[in-house]
Chains A and B, each alone.
Chain A
Amino acid sequence: MLTKKVKKRILFLVSIVFLTAVSIFFIFKVLNDNLLYFKTPSEIKKDENLDFQRAIRIGGMVKQNSLSATSKEIKFIITDMKNEIIVSYSGAIPNLFAEGKGVVAEGKLKDRNYFIAEKILAKHDENYMPPELKKNVK
């Protein structure tokens, strides 16, 4: 059924798709650091050439009972259940920002454990449920 021409076209298609996929794979491999939208506290801890001048994003969970607010700033702890980073921030926070919920903070590291945020984004998780159900779960 497959004539010579058809076989030739199949070969052409397979090779061009394969080449493109492989090159994209290597581009992603090189760019991997930039493709990550945020780093977790554990990754910050492991990172040996941290740049304290550059703005970065860190993300994780707002630790329970870690949130404290004064008139000037709010402070909380971002955790990924293994490592923690203290974040200080002054400015408007999104509605969904809360203890025990996901958060992404944009700003600069002061040292390995202290982060000064300039912007805060709330990260929503993949769970959807009505409020009554949530009460029952608790």
Chain B
Amino acid sequence: MFNFLLPSRIYLLIEKTLKFINSVFFPILLIGLTFALVISPPDYIQGDSVRIMYLHVPSAWIGLACFASMAFLSILNFIFKTKNFFLINKSLAPIGLLFTCLAIITGSLWGKPTWGAFWVWDARLTSMMVLMFFYFFLILSFKFIKDQDKLVKVSSLITILGSINLPIIKFSVDWWTTLHQPASISLGKSSKIDPSMLYPLILMLLVFLLFSALIFLMKYKTEIIRIKKKRIKSL
């Protein structure tokens, strides 16, 4: 089972993918930023501060998506004891933390001119902060628990229990009254964002995804090298 993901087989593929992403990342980044910062129109009420959305929304999505995939892999790892899922999680966690923090920071920069406050304790913002703490504890456990078997168990449990927070974040704006606005884009409904702003947003999402893939593959490569080094030493 899952043989196709074995570190030794996938190593060459990682190298190739890294090279490809490296070659296309900067052109796409430039195009994305041009559309988001220059070509796209200002909002009818927020003016130019709407441009923060192009960073804020993809960051939040990736922060959530990272945790969701980590939770999925943790469940498989916990049940079937597939070691390299743990390596994937270890490589995904820093990306998730980075983008969750970025979403919170850009959100508060947007909140000051729009709402009139950097931070409020409403359900969406608070649950997002809880997600940040989960990432934080996860990374701390990677750093400080030395016993490998224990580490896999502890980090999987943190991730699986933390994933209960994900639907809370998503539906916080519907279940309770919040200062944060409800979702503008949802599956099966027409978007509340005008197409002239929606396409730059999708482009920026692509840029952020490519960046995440870049960091992830580099980190995963390092983890594989680290394991191989350990095996060589133990021979």
Contact = CB atoms under 8 A, between A and B. Distances in A.
B120 A126 contact: no
Q: Interface size class for chain B? A: 35 or more
B4 interface: no
Contact of B117 (A96, A98, A121, A131): A121
B197 interface: yes
Given A17-B160, A20-B161, A121 B46 contact: no
Contacts of A79: none
Contacts of B78: 9, 13
A122 B164 contact: no
B23 interface: no
A95 to B, nearest CB: 6
Given A122-B115, A127-B184, A37 B178 contact: yes
B53 A37 contact: no
Interface in A18-72: 20-21, 24, 32, 35-40, 59
Q: Interface size class for chain A? A: 35 or more
A126 B193 CA distance: 8
B114 A122 contact: yes
A117 to B, nearest CB: 12
B116 interface: yes
B177 interface: yes
B41 A131 contact: yes
Contacts of A96: 45-46, 114-115
Contacts of A119: 116
Between A40, A93, A128, the greatest number of chain B beta carbons within 10 A of the residue's beta carbon is seen for A128
A10 B77 CA distance: 11
Contacts of A132: 41
B75 A35 contact: no
B123 A37 contact: yes
A38 B177 contact: yes
A82 to B, nearest CB: 15
B44 A129 contact: yes
Contacts of B122: 37
Contact of B184 (A37, A126, A131): A126
B181 A126 contact: yes
B164 A17 contact: yes
Given A20-B161, A37-B176, A131-B41, A126 B115 contact: no
Given A16-B161, A122-B115, A129-B43, 6 more contacts: A17-B164, A122-B116, A124-B181, A126-B183, A130-B41, A131-B41
Interface of B: 41-46, 50, 53, 75, 78-80, 113-117, 120-123, 157, 160-161, 164, 168, 176-179, 181-184, 192-194, 196-197
5 contacts: A9-B78, A17-B164, A94-B116, A126-B183, A128-B53
Interface of A: 6, 9-10, 13, 16-17, 20-21, 24, 32, 35-40, 59, 92-98, 101, 104, 119-134
